[in-house]
Structure 1
Amino acid sequence: MVYLLGGWQSDFSANWSRQGRELVDAFAEAVGEGLDAAQLDPEEIETGHVGNFAGELFAGQGLLGGMFGQVHPAFDGLPTARHEAACASGSVAILAATAEIEAGRYDLACVVGIEQMRNVPGQKAAENLGSAAWAGHEFQDARFLWPRAFSDLADEYDRRYGLKYEHLMAISEINFANGRRNPNAQTRDWRFGSEAFTENDETNPVVEGRTRKQDCGQVTDGTAVVFLASAERARAYADKRGIALESLPRIKGWGHRSAPISYARKIENSRHEPYVFPQVRRAILDARARAGIADDVSGIDAVETHDCFTATEYMAIDHLGLTAPGESWKAIEAGDIAHGGRLPINPSGGLIGAGHPVGATGVRMALDAFKQVTGKAGDYQVDGARTVQTLNIGGSTTTTVSLVVGL
């Protein structure tokens, strides 16, 4: 059993380059603020893990586990590792830390997710991010690779089931509205006119294919940190603070699946399957099975899902089981995914509303799950939330990680 003791998230609206900050500065801030938030001392940490996708490409810096020893003398000698799985890097770092705790190697882990992405021009950022696709083999005619890839996903849904753009824009509107409730969201102060969420080429210009500006998650600088503990360590933590162990959230279940790196291969493999991405569906069900809850959405109070594009969340809605395959539009029209709906999705604002610092996203999702089930989510709190599922995706669902966090 692995417990969450707390954590911290940076302001996702910050531009570190303009502030004269480097990765190490953001790393130090995250760890320091996280320790304060969780009421822990640096000397108590026994192992460190970093989720990061492209530190070498954006900042010329690899070996990010070494940042721990750089930012505090107590971490000199700490066993550390960095983990890369594209946009799922943060969740894979969490899985590595939980595995160490479950194996009995350590009792208290610090997991940092971090990415700097706003220090290069947009075209260069797109090229860097494109390295998570099957480089040199797919989408070579696209200027912006990932908007094109998920335009193709929207096309695939349209071919199989039919798809209306108004439903994709409803997802976008919900996530931007949720982001306005989140004090750390990159878009919390953004405002749009009524034409921004239509197929208007001036107010919502085409980026690639059928992907338009408002379909896209945000390029972001950001960090998030969580602290994970064994049952024994969590009990000591609770006793010292005079709180019940049962008040600390647990990672109750996890799912981790991988698929071929080729987008075309994935689509071909699912040609006769009910779900477009079977491995995403399996990761979701694996997490619920390990958590001992139903394989439908009845045991889940909220979801933090991967909405790098509106088409990604549209896919997630049916893969989560909120609707039958291809019928995500029904949950959107019914208001099920909105704040206050049957299953609120991305109360934080998600990647579209809150921002998407790639390596930090999975850690941020886990932290938001912690906040929700402990009633600490502030203005974006989901009433009565006790169990939250995360869905974090790397590449074109090449890596999928899902966590169930609850009391």
Structure 2
Amino acid sequence: MVYVLGGWQSDFAANWAREGKELADAFAEAVGQGLAAVDLDPEDVETGHVGNFAAELFAGQGLLGGMFGLVHPAFDGLPTARHEAACASGSVAVLAATAEIEAGRYDLACVVGIEQMRNVPGQKAAENLGSAAWAGHEFQDARFLWPRAFSDLADEYDRRYGLRYEHLMGIAEVNFANGRRNPNAQTRSWNFGPEAFTADDAANPVVEGRTRKQDCGQVTDGTAVVFLASAARAKAYADERGIALDSIPRIKGWGHRSAPLSYARKVEASRDEPYVFPQVRRAILDARARAGIAPDVSGIDAVETHDCFTATEYMAIDHLGLTAPGESWKAIEAGDIAMGGKLPINPSGGLIGTGHPVGATGARMLLDAWKQTSGQAGDYQVEGARTVQTLNIGGSTTTTVSFVVGT
């Protein structure tokens, strides 16, 4: 059993290059602020893991595990590793840390998710991010590869079930509204008129295919750090602070699935199946089964899901089981995904409202699950949240990781 002691998230509205920060500066800030937030010393950390997708491309820097040694002398000699799984890099880093703890190698791990993305022009950022697709083989005619890929997903839903743009914009409106409650959200001070959530070419211009500006998650600089502990270490931590062990959230279940790199291969393989992405559905169910909760949504109080585009969340809604396949629109129209709804989705604002520093997103989701289940989410707290599920996707669902977190 692995406990989540807490952590820290940077301000996703920050632009590190404009502030004169390098990747190492942001890394050191995250670890230092995280240690302070959780009341730990550097000497307490026994292993370090980094989730990052493309630091070589954006910052010219690889081997990020070595950044721990720049933070504090106590980290000199710390065993570290970096993990890459595109947008699921942070979650894969968490998986590696939990495996070490479960194996009995270490009792306390620090996981840092980090990505710098705003230090290059938009077209260059799009090209860098495109390396998570099947490079040289798919979407070669697209200027912006991922908006095109998830435009194709919207087309696939339309072909199989029918899809109305107003439902995608319903997702965007919820995530932007939630982001306004989050003090670390990139879009917390953004304001839009009603026409911004329509197919108005001026207020909501087309990016690629069916994907418009308001459909997109944000290009973001950001870090998130979480500290994970074994049951014995968590008990000692609780005893030292006079708190109950059962008040500390833990990772109750996990799911991890992969699929072929090619988007077309995935969709073709699911032609005769109810779900567009069967491996996403399986990762969700694996996490619930390992957590010992029902396979439906009855055991979940909130979800932090991947909404790199509105079409991604539209897919997630039915794959989570909130509706039958192809009927995500029903949950949107009923207000089920909004704060106060049947299953609030992305109370933080998600990738659209909060921002999407690629390698940090999985760690940020886990941190937000910890905040919700420990009652520390502030203005975006879901009342009575005891169990939260995350759903983090890399590439065109090439890697999917889901955690169930609760007390």
- Matching residue of 2:154: 154
- Matching residue of 1:404: 404
Distance in 2 (CA, whole Å) between partners of 1:194 and 1:3 is 43
Distance in 1 (CA, whole Å) between partners of 2:182 and 2:242 is 30
Within a 5 Å distance, the mapping from 1:327-406 to structure 2 comes to: 327-406=327-406
Aligned with 2:183: secondary structure?
coil
AA of the residue aligned to 1:226:
V
- Matching residue of 1:137: 137
Distance in 2 (CA, whole Å) between partners of 1:357 and 1:382 is 24
AA of the residue aligned to 1:235:
K
- Matching residue of 1:236: 236
1:9-59 residue CA offsets vs partner (Å, 9 max, x unmatched) = 000000000000000000000000000000000001000000000000000
- Matching residue of 1:110: 110
Within a 5 Å distance, the mapping from 1:261-280 to structure 2 comes to: 261-280=261-280
* Structure 1 residue 263: Cα displacement: 0.1
Report the TM-score, using the length of structure 2 for normalisation.
1.00
1:310-330 residue CA offsets vs partner (Å, 9 max, x unmatched) = 000000000000000000000
Distance in 2 (CA, whole Å) between partners of 1:337 and 1:301 is 11
Aligned with 1:392: secondary structure?
strand
1:319-350 residue CA offsets vs partner (Å, 9 max, x unmatched) = 00000000000000000000110000000000
- Matching residue of 1:326: 326
Within a 5 Å distance, the mapping from 1:155-170 to structure 2 comes to: 155-170=155-170
Distance in 2 (CA, whole Å) between partners of 1:73 and 1:144 is 43
* Structure 1 residue 194: Cα displacement: 1.1
Distance in 2 (CA, whole Å) between partners of 1:105 and 1:121 is 43
1:41 aligns to 2:44 (yes or no): no
Distance in 1 (CA, whole Å) between partners of 2:147 and 2:321 is 25
Aligned with 2:114: secondary structure?
strand
1:218 aligns to 2:218 (yes or no): yes
* Structure 1 residue 295: Cα displacement: 0.1
Distance in 2 (CA, whole Å) between partners of 1:116 and 1:239 is 38
AA of the residue aligned to 1:111:
V
Distance in 1 (CA, whole Å) between partners of 2:84 and 2:44 is 26
Distance in 2 (CA, whole Å) between partners of 1:386 and 1:71 is 34
1:110-150 residue CA offsets vs partner (Å, 9 max, x unmatched) = 00000000000000000000000000000000000000000
* Structure 1 residue 223: Cα displacement: 0.1
Distance in 1 (CA, whole Å) between partners of 2:112 and 2:330 is 37
* Structure 1 residue 404: Cα displacement: 0.2
AA of the residue aligned to 2:207:
V
Aligned with 1:344: secondary structure?
coil
- Matching residue of 1:15: 15
The answer for unaligned runs of 5 or more in structure 1 is none
Distance in 2 (CA, whole Å) between partners of 1:108 and 1:392 is 23
Aligned with 1:337: secondary structure?
coil
Distance in 2 (CA, whole Å) between partners of 1:28 and 1:388 is 29
AA of the residue aligned to 2:115:
E
* Structure 1 residue 232: Cα displacement: 0.3
- Matching residue of 1:193: 193
Distance in 2 (CA, whole Å) between partners of 1:217 and 1:247 is 33
Structure 1 ranges of 4+ moved more than 6 A? none
Aligned with 1:155: secondary structure?
helix
1:184-236 residue CA offsets vs partner (Å, 9 max, x unmatched) = 00000000011000000000000000000000000000000000000000000
Within a 5 Å distance, the mapping from 1:56-135 to structure 2 comes to: 56-135=56-135
- Matching residue of 1:259: 259
Aligned with 2:233: secondary structure?
helix
Aligned with 1:227: secondary structure?
strand
* Structure 1 residue 392: Cα displacement: 0.1
Aligned with 1:7: secondary structure?
strand
* Structure 1 residue 363: Cα displacement: 0.2
* Structure 1 residue 71: Cα displacement: 1.2
- Matching residue of 2:283: 283
AA of the residue aligned to 2:156:
E
Total equivalences in the alignment: 407
- Matching residue of 1:299: 299
Distance in 2 (CA, whole Å) between partners of 1:310 and 1:77 is 43
Distance in 2 (CA, whole Å) between partners of 1:344 and 1:160 is 26
Distance in 2 (CA, whole Å) between partners of 1:208 and 1:121 is 18
Distance in 1 (CA, whole Å) between partners of 2:375 and 2:4 is 14
Over the matched positions of the two proteins, sequence identity in percent amounts to 88
**CA root-mean-square deviation:** 0.2
Report the TM-score, using the length of structure 1 for normalisation.
1.00
Distance in 1 (CA, whole Å) between partners of 2:202 and 2:373 is 41
Aligned with 2:265: secondary structure?
helix
Distance in 1 (CA, whole Å) between partners of 2:219 and 2:358 is 8
Distance in 1 (CA, whole Å) between partners of 2:6 and 2:378 is 15
The answer for unaligned runs of 5 or more in structure 2 is none
Distance in 1 (CA, whole Å) between partners of 2:165 and 2:274 is 22
* Structure 1 residue 159: Cα displacement: 0.2
